[in-house]
Amino acid sequence: MTGFDEQTNSSDRYQQGWQKLTEIHGQAGAQVMDSLKEIAPDLARFIIEFPFGDIYSRPGLDLKSRQIATVAALATLGNNQVQLKAHIHGALNVGCTREEVVEVIMQMAVYAGFPAALNGIFAAKEVFAERDAKANSAVD
């Protein structure tokens, strides 16, 4: 069997990747990986092992810097709102401020154009509103 079997999940890359994934994305990351189990378990394993196990775990940048770079890259692509919003959440989870997220996206207007920056800003606005609503419901 491929994908989420015990042997695959016990690899160091997988374990290190899973730790980074949950550190950045919390339960939301686990939910995305679980949603891939039935249709593409190998894709979930690749995502956990390569970006999170190999790249995000490297010592050269802290997680905040990596998330800033990721938000910038996704904002420039302009066609991946789901992933951009997930990584804006991740950036906030690892210490980025809302102002930093907005500034990074605005900087991308210079390199990717105003449409990409606008799409990114609207994604950030949705994330901020979602987090505010969640915080307000926790207070009630």
Co-location of 28 and 91 in the same domain: no
Co-location of 71 and 45 in the same domain: no
Co-location of 12 and 52 in the same domain: yes
* Domain coverage including residue 29: 1-58
Digit-coded pLDDT (tens) for 32-83: 999 999 999 999 999 999 999 999 999 999 999 999 999 999 999 988 999 9
Dist. CA 136–CA 70, nearest whole Å = 28
Q: How many CA atoms are closer than 13 Å to the CA of 66, on its beta-carbon side? A: 19
Co-location of 77 and 128 in the same domain: yes
**CATH number, position 70:** 1.20.1290.10
Co-location of 121 and 74 in the same domain: yes
Q: What is the pLDDT of residue 2?
A: 45
| Domains in the chain, number | 2
Contact status, residue 75 vs residue 105, Cβ threshold 8 Å? yes
Q: What is the pLDDT of residue 65?
A: 98
Confidence of residue 9 (pLDDT cuts 50, 70, 90): low
Co-location of 32 and 91 in the same domain: no
Digit-coded pLDDT (tens) for 95-133: 999 999 999 999 999 999 999 999 999 999 999 999 999
- Rounded to two decimals, the pTM is 0.88
Digit-coded pLDDT (tens) for 23-35: 999 999 999 999 9
Co-location of 8 and 65 in the same domain: no
Contact status, residue 21 vs residue 46, Cβ threshold 8 Å? no
Q: Which two tokens stand for residue 121?
A: 């800003």
